[in-house]
């Protein structure tokens, strides 16, 4: 008997407030042209005080459950990828568990910043293949706007908020060519200072001096991250494609972390692939960190761009530094 994990449902949530690039012109030395030409971003969704990471994750999860024709009590586990949890502890995943009314199973967070959803999906696949779970909700949800210095144009114009979810189910009779065909995860802690929120943990507790210095906000060396991503992601994609045994030209859709259009275009060009092979929605959503890949999966799923039998490559990369790719046949 061959055990596989397949996606049976998708869901998403985007905050109601939309911020166009032009809004930043009122408070920052920037313009719509400056932002869009350097990032590809034109607008993003920004959460209000009630649209927390767990609240958005809950709505996305409910949508995925409905799409799969299931209810919360059918679920064995919830894995939530996030770097912007509601609290340091408990995990946001347990809050989602409570919100759904799920009284069995287990729930936990995965923190790998923009690669988090790929790590969470690999976790869920392993739980199913090993027999520890049969149905797992995998969610990516972020509210990075709440960690932004809104006077720093190098970061605040790039990020948006949102959540996406998929439902992974065990099947016992699917062929070996279905499910997660190959995956590759990695990290390099030597680059941990390239994308960091200094005053967000126990190493640097909150102080008046720290707040005055803006240490509670996310900080990023954008140029260094850009150079690293262009080099590393192409290598990681080539590696996982090789291990999958699927010719790269036979992959139906590439969903890369939606960080910057120049990164996506650079990788696409290096791989020698056409634009239509890549889903891009960062122009509408910005960089939603671990939310970007499940948001894109949900969009592709609902618009019919992918479906049963489709082969999809996903790739996340970001702070840590951390990265992960997978080839999935739906």
Q: What is the mean pLDDT of residues 2-23?
A: 95
Q: Which of 15, 28, 82 is nearest to 286 (CA)?
A: 15
Instruction: Enter the tokens of residue 316.
Output: 């996340």
Please indicate whether the domains covering 4-171 and 179-329 agree at the CATH topology level: yes
Q: Which of 329, 290, 28 is nearest to 174 (CA)?
A: 329
How far from 230 is each of 35, 198, 249, 251, 289, CA to CA, in Å? 20, 26, 20, 20, 17
List the domain boundaries for the chain.
4-171, 179-329
Kindly state which CATH superfamily the domain 4-171 is placed in: Thiolase/Chalcone synthase (3.40.47.10)
Q: What is the mean pLDDT of residues 318-325?
A: 96
- Residue 271 above 70 pLDDT? yes
pLDDT at 177: 80
Dihedral angle, C-alpha 55, 112, 263, 304, nearest 10 °: -50
pLDDT at 174: 62
How far from 262 is each of 36, 38, 41, 80, 199, CA to CA, in Å? 10, 7, 11, 28, 30
Instruction: Detail the DSSP E strand segments found in the chain.
Output: 4-13, 17-20, 43-46, 77-81, 106-110, 135-142, 162-171, 179-187, 195-196, 219-220, 253-256, 311-318, 322-329
pLDDT, tens digit, 9 for 90 and up, residues 119-164: 999 999 999 999 999 999 999 999 999 999 999 999 999 999 999 9
Burial of 44 (0-12, 13-18, 19+ CB in 10 A): buried
Q: What percent of the chain has pLDDT over 90?
A: 91
| Cβ contact 274:240 at 8 Å | no
- Residue 175 above 70 pLDDT? no
Active site (catalytic) residues: 114, 257, 287
pLDDT at 24: 96
Q: What is the mean pLDDT of residues 307-320?
A: 95
Angle at CA of residue 304, ends 299 and 310, nearest 5°: 100
pLDDT at 257: 98
pLDDT at 317: 97
**Cα dihedral 270, 38, 191, 46 sign:** negative
d(CA 312, CA 289): 19
- Residue 65 above 70 pLDDT? yes
Q: What is the mean pLDDT of residues 183-191?
A: 95
d(CA 284, CA 18): 9
Place 1 in a pLDDT band, splitting at 50, 70 and 90: low
pLDDT, tens digit, 9 for 90 and up, residues 202-244: 889 999 999 999 899 999 998 999 999 999 999 999 999 999 9
Sheet containing 77-81: which strands, arranged edge to edge? 4-13, 162-171, 135-142, 77-81, 106-110
pLDDT at 12: 98
For tokens 């696409």, the residue is: 268
Instruction: Enter the tokens of residue 147.
Output: 């960690």
Write phi, then psi, for 220 (nearest 5 degrees): -145, 135
Q: What is the CATH topology of the domain spanning 179-329?
A: Peroxisomal Thiolase; Chain A, domain 1 (3.40.47)
d(CA 216, CA 208): 11
Q: What is the mean pLDDT of residues 290-305?
A: 97
pLDDT at 199: 87
Q: What is the mean pLDDT of residues 297-320?
A: 96
d(CA 11, CA 18): 19
Instruction: Detail the DSSP E strand segments found in 113-178.
Output: 135-142, 162-171
For the entire predicted model, the pTM comes to 0.96
- Residue 39 above 90 pLDDT? yes
């Amino acid at each position: 008997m061959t055990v596989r994990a397949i996606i049976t449902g998708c869901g998403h949530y985007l905050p109601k407030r939309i911020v166009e690039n032009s809004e930043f012109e009122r408070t920052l030395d920037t313009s719509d042209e400056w932002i869009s030409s350097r990032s590809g971003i034109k607008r993003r969704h920004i959460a209000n005080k009630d649209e927390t990471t767990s609240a958005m994750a809950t709505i996305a999860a409910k949508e995925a459950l409905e799409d799969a024709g299931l209810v919360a009590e059918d679920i064995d586990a919830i894995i939530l990828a996030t770097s912007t949890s509601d609290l340091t502890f408990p995990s946001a995943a347990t809050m989602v568990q409570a919100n759904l009314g799920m009284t069995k199973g287990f729930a936990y967070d995965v923190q790998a910043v923009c690669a988090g959803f790929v790590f969470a999906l690999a976790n869920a696949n392993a739980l199913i293949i090993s027999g520890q779970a049969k149905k797992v909700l995998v969610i990516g949800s972020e509210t990075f706007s709440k960690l932004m210095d809104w006077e720093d144009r190098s970061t605040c114009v790039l990020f948006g908020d949102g959540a996406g979810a998929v439902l992974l189910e065990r099947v016992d009779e699917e062929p070996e060519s279905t499910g997660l065909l190959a995956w590759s995860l990695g990290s390099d802690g030597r680059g941990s200072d390239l994308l960091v929120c200094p005053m967000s943990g126990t190493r640097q507790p909150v102080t008046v001096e720290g707040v005055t210095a803006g240490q509670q906000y996310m900080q990023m060396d954008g140029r260094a991250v850009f150079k690293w991503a262009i080099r590393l992601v192409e290598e990681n994609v080539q590696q996982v494609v090789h291990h999958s045994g699927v010719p790269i030209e036979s992959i139906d859709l590439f969903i890369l972390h939606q960080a910057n259009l120049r990164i996506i275009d650079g990788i696409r060009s290096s791989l020698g692939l056409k634009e239509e092979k890549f889903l891009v929605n960062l122009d509408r959503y910005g960089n939603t960190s671990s939310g970007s890949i499940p948001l894109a999966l949900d969009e592709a799923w609902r618009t019919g761009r992918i479906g049963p039998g489709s082969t999809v490559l996903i790739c996340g990369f970001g702070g840590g530094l951390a990265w992960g790719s997978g080839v999935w046949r739906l």
